[in-house]
Chain A
Amino acid sequence: MLVALAVLCAIFASQSEFFLSERNLTTILRNSVDLSVVCAGMTIVIILGGIDVSVGGILAVSAVLIGRAYQYGMPDWVVILVGLGAGALLGAMNGAIIAKTRVPPIVATLGTMYIFIAVLFLVIGGVWISGLPNTLSFLVLGDFVGVPAGVFVIGLVYAFSWLLLRRTPWGQRVVAIGCDEVAARLVGIQVDRTKIQAYALLGLFAGIAAILYVARLRNVEVNIGTNIALEAIAATILGGANIRGGIGSLIGTLMGVLFIKITQNGLVLIGVSSLWETVVIGGLLIVVLILDALETRRVS
């Protein structure tokens, strides 16, 4: 993955001298902050053996609530709490539906995505929320000791997720459930509770992403979050996670995110229409999936 990333950067750098400029790299970083935060949660949910296609909806609802909270003149900390709370709550709702009713995660989150989008429409009423204050913008646009603040946000989220996944009993439970749910249940792991917690964590991260989104753009559009679920799943798979559960890597996912964002940025710079980016991502996914399958066949 690292090699692929390097090759990609080399290609773009040779085609456009602007690509490696500090400003462009910062732009790429700022654009990837929301996606990478969501992806950390998505990786954990996929390792658990689940999937969540409703993260875009969660992000949208959190963002719109943040926007409304701002408009009512709430202080920053309330705004942040609203975003985090809404995200975690909606995520927990997904988890509860999946764990308690045994609806397959893809179907359940498909259903809740419809519902979240409905909520978005009802709250936003078809009009953009714009002109929000920039009190939180430093989180994405600011610098801290000369390093863009986004680096710290991503670093914190990934360090937290990594510790949670690899250094706590909770993380071991997640991996165990992803490897074999029935066995996990039989050895006494509380599968349902762990699932709800994992989906709530993803929701929480979507809430953080919503805060970052609002901080960066200072508005809330009607079609916010439409692509992020599929992009997040694509990045996670590109990063080496197995959709069947049990296997996945946070670092790999982060690479996957950078890969997608650099592709999007680079294509524009070398003068290819941005319309081609989904084709490239789709093609890449197909190649990675085939390579993956061949690899597993060779090993077994």
Chain B
Amino acid sequence: MKDPLAQRMFFLFGLLIAAGVMGALLSPHFVQTSTVAYLLQYVPVLGVLGMAQTLVMLSGGPGIDLSIGATMSLVGLAIAGLFALGVPMVLACMIGLAIGGLLGAVNAFLVCVVKVPSLMGTLATFFAYSGLALALTGGSPIGGIPDWFGILAQGRILGIPVHMWTVFVPLAIVLHVMLTYTRVGSHIYAAGNDERAAFLSGVKVWRLRFGLYCLSGVIAGLAAIMTLSWFQAARPDAGEGMELLSVTIAVLGGAHIFGGIGRISGTVLAVLIVTTLQVALQLANISQAWQLAAIGLLLIGSVVADNAVGERLRARTRRAGT
């Protein structure tokens, strides 16, 4: 147990179990097999957004994407709107993902080309996108999604929601493999750890980050498709609050806000923790206020813990270096 990152995984596991136990204590309805399915219903949307946020943070800069929720709302509306205009659903989804990528590219342009701090750049696009989503629809949702499309988020295979099988798990595996076993992955870590050193050793830092912001937009598009299938309608405020929640999940999962440290597996665990907490409090009929308070405390607590881990990690690398 010398490895601080492994320690973090154990810490998260412990937290997850604690959340589960708390749920069981709070509500007699929690310990049922149906709870798992219910819980997993919430996981994929939040989960993919958390993974996107993790990637953006990992590559350093410091990177953050505050527009992720607004992008999600806008893509959802675009897909529903296109379908209402007579575009086939599958094609509409493809176009939606492309739009997500495009919206991400605007962020990427601001952050990587104009060199605006990511916090500011994506705050500006957050305003613009969420405003557009509201203004274009006048605040009312777009419905009329065909019933068969609901299968993605409402159907179950072996009791587990379809979008868990088809979107969340594959994406988690692909991103995990990308980060751990490919050159792109090691470049991301390198860029996040030491931008200058990475640049000098030939990593195209800014091109890499540009790609990641675009990817974040595409993933927000995926989240939009899942939400669309779940609610059968596109709401202009579908992604409201998601930006902060996704940052919370990424940070709780061990992604360092300044980049270079973090894992997809941590993010996955963090999503499970947050949803377990939410569902447990919901089932126990405890006010939503406590859910917010719990998330806030978790967020601050995890960064404090993270700083301690990070310091030890740095101390270790220094020792290894000398």
A101, A121, A279: which contacts B289 (Cβ < 8 A)? Answer: A121
**Are the CB atoms of B114 and A115 closer together than 8 Å?**
no
Quote the shortest CB–CB distance from A74 to chain B (angstroms). 25
Give A93-106 as 1s and 0s: 1 = Cβ < 8 Å from B's Cβ atoms: 00001000111101
Quote the shortest CB–CB distance from A50 to chain B (angstroms). 12
**Are the CB atoms of B307 and A102 closer together than 8 Å?**
yes
Rounded to whole angstroms, the CA-CA distance of A119 and B288 in the bound complex is 11
**A112 proximal to B (CB < 8 A):** yes
**A155 proximal to B (CB < 8 A):** no
Quote the shortest CB–CB distance from B229 to chain A (angstroms). 27
Quote the shortest CB–CB distance from A100 to chain B (angstroms). 10
**Are the CB atoms of B247 and A110 closer together than 8 Å?**
yes
A121, A278, A282: which contacts B292 (Cβ < 8 A)? Answer: A121
**Are the CB atoms of A282 and B127 closer together than 8 Å?**
yes
A111, A119, A283: which contacts B300 (Cβ < 8 A)? Answer: A111
**Are the CB atoms of B296 and A115 closer together than 8 Å?**
yes
**Are the CB atoms of A276 and B303 closer together than 8 Å?**
no
Contacts of B110 in A (CB 8 A): 286, 289-290
**Are the CB atoms of B299 and A114 closer together than 8 Å?**
yes
The chain A residue with its CB closest to the CB of B116 is A289
Quote the shortest CB–CB distance from A31 to chain B (angstroms). 19
Instruction: Knowing A113-B296, A276-B135, say if A101 contacts B304 (CB, 8 Å).
Output: yes
Give B138-178 as 1s and 0s: 1 = Cβ < 8 Å from A's Cβ atoms: 11000000000000000000000000000000000000000
**A33 proximal to B (CB < 8 A):** no
**A273 proximal to B (CB < 8 A):** yes
User: Chain A interface residue count: which class?
Assistant: 35 or more
CB contacts under 8 Å to B, within A83-130, are 97, 101-104, 106-108, 110-115, 117-122
User: Which of A132-140, A167-175, A229-237 lines the interface with chain B?
Assistant: A229-237
**Are the CB atoms of B116 and A115 closer together than 8 Å?**
no
**A44 proximal to B (CB < 8 A):** no
**Are the CB atoms of B292 and A117 closer together than 8 Å?**
yes
Rounded to whole angstroms, the CA-CA distance of A150 and B131 in the bound complex is 29
**B197 proximal to A (CB < 8 A):** no
Count, A-B residue pairs, CB within 8 A: 137
**Are the CB atoms of A234 and B300 closer together than 8 Å?**
no
Quote the shortest CB–CB distance from A146 to chain B (angstroms). 37
Quote the shortest CB–CB distance from A234 to chain B (angstroms). 7
**B287 proximal to A (CB < 8 A):** yes
Contacts of A292 in B (CB 8 A): 116
Contacts of B303 in A (CB 8 A): 101, 103-104, 107-108, 111
**B115 proximal to A (CB < 8 A):** yes
Instruction: Knowing A106-B119, A111-B297, A290-B114, say if A117 contacts B127 (CB, 8 Å).
Output: no
**Are the CB atoms of B127 and A234 closer together than 8 Å?**
yes
A108, A234, A290: which contacts B123 (Cβ < 8 A)? Answer: A234
Instruction: Knowing A101-B307, A104-B303, say if A115 contacts B138 (CB, 8 Å).
Output: no
A106, A112, A122, A293: which contacts B116 (Cβ < 8 A)? Answer: A293
**B120 proximal to A (CB < 8 A):** yes
Quote the shortest CB–CB distance from B79 to chain A (angstroms). 20
**Are the CB atoms of B117 and A243 closer together than 8 Å?**
yes
Contacts of B297 in A (CB 8 A): 111, 115
Other 9 A-B pairs with CB < 8 A, given A243-B117, A285-B124: A103-B304, A110-B296, A120-B289, A121-B288, A243-B119, A243-B120, A275-B131, A279-B127, A286-B121
B-to-A contact residues, CB < 8 Å: 62, 64, 110, 114-117, 119-121, 123-132, 134-135, 138-139, 244, 247-248, 251, 257-258, 287-293, 295-297, 299-300, 303-304, 307
Interface pairs (10), CB distance under 8 Å: A103-B300, A107-B251, A107-B257, A121-B289, A277-B131, A286-B110, A289-B116, A289-B124, A290-B114, A293-B115
- Which 8 residue pairs across A and B have the least CB separation, nearest first? A282-B127, A114-B296, A278-B131, A282-B128, A121-B289, A118-B293, A279-B131, A285-B124
A-to-B contact residues, CB < 8 Å: 51, 97, 101-104, 106-108, 110-115, 117-122, 230, 233-234, 237, 243-244, 273, 275-283, 285-286, 289-290, 292-294
